[in-house]
């Protein structure tokens, strides 16, 4: 019998944690046990794991000694404090926060693009990229390999689920409030999100960009292993519940035609081309991405204003490929490398 692992999900009650549990169950990850961890507030409540229910335990008092693999999605402060403790106890940590992503000794892995990087993890921590960078990588990596991308212009249209469960609730609440002529009362977002757009995600940086925008610069370079890549990002929150979209413009060293791009992307793992020049012949968060695994790409056009420019429209479920699915796919890489299980479970 193959090995079975004891897996912890930290942030199990959150928007990403819940889907991590669902994907572990759906993909039949070989678990001997799954431990659902969250704050003391949620301890004792239950979360779903396939047809089973797990009782949530308090992270602060949990002993990680028996854990083989820990998936963290409880925010940066929790990762900073607890991920090293889990790693010191011998677990491999797959961390969805930005805490360790830019450290040289922590690999940043997109399962279809740089799986080999996951093997070198001196701190026992593997970082899961930010959702906006994540969905771009399976599309851009094959183009970069064959045509050499020099510059990326990207404007994101990011759904509220990326900001967590309270943000989902806020969009619902504000929408209902506005439709009944009541005050939308922003709480999680700095200004009203319902029927609005907010060009501000994460903190402003000294250079005038937001941290969400800089993540696209830093993470793209790290994952594609090319510090010379030029990335020009604008990140915008939109009143969509699930699914991020990106208007992407690239400039390549060698010209790539729209037909060549379509053919290349049709073969790219994790990517689905939806590119018919008719109404609905393009991916949208609601019609294609929400609740689905692939990264969808459409509206592939050569740039009218640049001899080696190409435009693309890239859409994915930010909670699945953008976070939970890739984390589980990284865990599957650990299986494939034959990670030992602490207890002999078979
Ligand atoms: P809790 O439900 O106990 O607050 P989201 O990104 O959807 O807001 O989810 C955040 C996740 O991180 C939730 O599961 C949340 O658990 C968890 N979390 C937040 N603060 C802590 C904490 N101090 N210790 C453990 N888990 C936490």
Residue nearest to ligand 1 atom 2, measured at CA: 13
Q: Tell me, using a 6 A CB cutoff, whether residue 162 lines ligand 1.
A: no
Residue nearest to ligand 1 atom 21, measured at CA: 39
Provide the pLDDT for residue 346: 41
178 by Cβ neighbours in 10 Å (0-12 / 13-18 / 19+) ranks as: middle
Pocket test for ligand 1, best of 11, 70, 164 (most atoms within 8 A of CB): 11
Centre of ligand 1 to C-alpha 14, Å, is 6
Q: Which CATH superfamily hosts domain 132-318?
A: Dihydrodipicolinate Reductase; domain 2 (3.30.360.10)
CB crowding 209-218: b at 16 or more within 10 Å, else e:
bbebbbbbbb
Q: Rounded to two decimals, what is the model's pTM?
A: 0.97
Q: Note whether 198 and 186 are within 8 A (CB).
A: no
Q: How many other C-beta atoms can be found within 10 angstroms of the C-beta atom of residue 116? A: 10
Q: Tell me, using a 6 A CB cutoff, whether residue 59 lines ligand 1.
A: yes
Q: Return left, alpha or beta for 62; rule: phi > 0 is left, psi -120 to 50 is alpha, else beta.
A: beta
Q: Tell me, using a 6 A CB cutoff, whether residue 74 lines ligand 1.
A: yes
Centre of ligand 1 to C-alpha 16, Å, is 10
Q: Tell me, using a 6 A CB cutoff, whether residue 13 lines ligand 1.
A: yes
Residue nearest to ligand 1 atom 8, measured at CA: 164
5 by Cβ neighbours in 10 Å (0-12 / 13-18 / 19+) ranks as: buried
The domain made up of 5-128+324-336 is a member of CATH 3.40.50.720: yes
Q: Tell me, using a 6 A CB cutoff, whether residue 14 lines ligand 1.
A: yes
Q: What is the pLDDT along the chain (346 residues), one digit of tens a residue?
A: 579 999 999 999 999 999 999 999 999 999 999 999 999 999 999 999 999 999 999 999 999 999 999 999 999 999 999 999 999 999 999 999 999 999 999 999 999 999 999 999 999 999 999 999 999 999 999 999 999 999 999 999 999 999 999 999 999 999 999 999 999 999 999 999 999 999 999 999 999 999 999 999 999 999 999 999 999 999 999 999 999 999 999 999 999 999 999 999 999 999 999 999 999 999 999 999 999 999 999 999 999 999 999 999 999 999 999 999 999 999 999 999 999 999 864 4
Ligand 1 atom with minimal separation from the 18 CA: 14
Which residues does the annotation mark as catalytic?
131, 244
Pocket test for ligand 1, best of 39, 41, 187 (most atoms within 8 A of CB): 39
Domain range list for the chain: 5-128+324-336, 132-318
Provide the pLDDT for residue 344: 60
Q: Tell me, using a 6 A CB cutoff, whether residue 96 lines ligand 1.
A: no
């Amino acid at each position: 019998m193959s090995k079975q692992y004891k897996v912890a999900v930290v942030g199990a009650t959150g928007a990403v944690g819940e889907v991590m549990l669902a994907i572990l169950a759906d993909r039949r990850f070989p678990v001997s046990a799954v431990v659902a961890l969250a704050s003391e507030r949620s301890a004792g409540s239950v979360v779903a794991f396939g047809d089973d229910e797990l009782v949530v335990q308090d992270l602060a008092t949990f002993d990680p000694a028996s854990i083989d693999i820990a998936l963290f999605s409880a925010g940066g402060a929790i990762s900073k404090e607890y991920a090293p403790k889990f790693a010191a106890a011998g677990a491999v940590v797959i961390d969805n926060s930005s805490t360790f992503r830019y450290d040289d000794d922590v690999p940043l892995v997109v399962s279809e693009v740089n799986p080999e990087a996951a093997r070198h993890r001196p701190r026992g921590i593997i970082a899961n990229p930010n959702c906006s960078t994540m969905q771009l990588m399976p599309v851009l990596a094959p183009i970069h390999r064959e045509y050499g991308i020099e510059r990326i212009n990207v404007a994101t249209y990011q759904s509220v689920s990326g900001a967590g469960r309270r943000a989902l609730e806020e969009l619902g609440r504000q929408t209902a409030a506005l439709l009944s002529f009541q005050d939308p009362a922003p709480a999680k977002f700095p200004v009203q999100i319902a029927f609005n757009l907010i060009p501000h995600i994460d903190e402003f940086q000294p250079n005038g960009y937001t941290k969400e925008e800089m993540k696209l610069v830093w993470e793209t370079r790290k994952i594609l292993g090319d510090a010379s890549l030029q990335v020009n990002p604008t990140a915008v929150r939109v009143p969509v519940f699930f699914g991020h979209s990106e208007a992407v413009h690239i400039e390549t060293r060698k010209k790539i035609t729209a037909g060549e791009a379509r053919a290349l992307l049709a073969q790219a793992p994790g990517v689905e081309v939806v590119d018919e020049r008719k109404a609905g012949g393009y991916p949208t968060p609601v019609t294609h991405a929400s609740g689905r695994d692939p990264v969808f790409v459409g509206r592939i056009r050569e740039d009218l204003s640049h001899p080696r420019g190409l435009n693309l429209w890239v859409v994915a479920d930010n909670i699945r490929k953008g976070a939970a699915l890739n984390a589980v796919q990284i865990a599957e890489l650990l299986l494939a490398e034959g990670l030992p299980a602490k207890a002999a479970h078979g």
